[in-house]
Amino acid sequence: MAVLAPLTISSLLLGSVALTMSSAQAVPSATCTVKESATAGKFDVTGKGWKPGKIVFFESNNTHTATRTANAAGEVSVTAFFPAGTITALQPGVPEATCGTVKETEQKDAQEQYRMGYRQGVADTKEDCKKEPPKQGVAALDPNYEKGYNAGAAAVLASALCK
């Protein structure tokens, strides 16, 4: 009896440790983002932290719109048309991830273009205190980039640098 009591208690403790370890295994924390695609009218949605080799469902406005299988690193990407609304990604056994909205993405892109244009306008004008038109590449200039460029050039021309 004296020998059996410690064995029984030890096995109970080991069982609770095993139970604690299995419940402590973390569910992957999946994330995703959305940005405007180079293909007109479409959006690129990328994510990481998904279960490798398992399907990820992408939805917009609760309408199933696309599926992709996560690669070996748990990453996934899709380019598709998503109607207005919040884009979410789902995978069984993983909490739903909110990627963002098409409108948020468009606003963020507009702000990014403005900032890039502003910086370039400052840099180009600071050289010789002459406002040059923004340099256009193969594609037409983004209107937000052009607005930012003009604002950056105007700020330098009005500053002490060019007086």
State pLDDT tens for residues 85-96: 788 999 998 999
Q: Is the domain of 92 the same as that of 114?
A: no
* pTM assigned to the model: 0.52
Average pLDDT over residues 45-69: 89
As a whole number of angstroms, the distance between CA 103 and CA 111 comes to: 12
Total count of domains within the chain? 2
pLDDT class for 52, splitting at 50, 70, 90? very high
Q: Is the domain of 36 the same as that of 93?
A: yes
Domain end call among 54, 76, 102: 102
CATH number at residue 37: 2.60.40.10
Q: Is the domain of 134 the same as that of 98?
A: no
Q: Is the domain of 98 the same as that of 120?
A: no
CA proximity to 42, closest of 107, 106, 88, 98: 106
pLDDT for res 67: 92
Structural domain including 57 reads: 31-102
Eight-class DSSP state of 160: G
Q: Is the domain of 81 the same as that of 110?
A: no
Neighbours of 99 (CB within 10 A): 23
Q: Is 2 a residue whose pLDDT tops 90?
A: no
Q: Is the domain of 125 the same as that of 138?
A: yes
Within a domain: residue 83? yes
Within a domain: residue 19? no
Tens digits of per-residue pLDDT, 107-159? 777 888 888 889 988 988 888 888 777 777 656 677 888 888 889 888 988 88
Q: Is 64 a residue whose pLDDT tops 70?
A: no
Q: Is the domain of 98 the same as that of 138?
A: no
Average pLDDT over residues 69-90: 89
Q: Is 14 a residue whose pLDDT tops 60?
A: no
Task: For 15-81, give the DSSP string.
Answer: HHHHHHHHHHSPPP--EEEEEE-SSTT-EEEEEESPPTTSEEEEEETTEEEEEEE--TTS-EEEEE-
Within a domain: residue 5? no
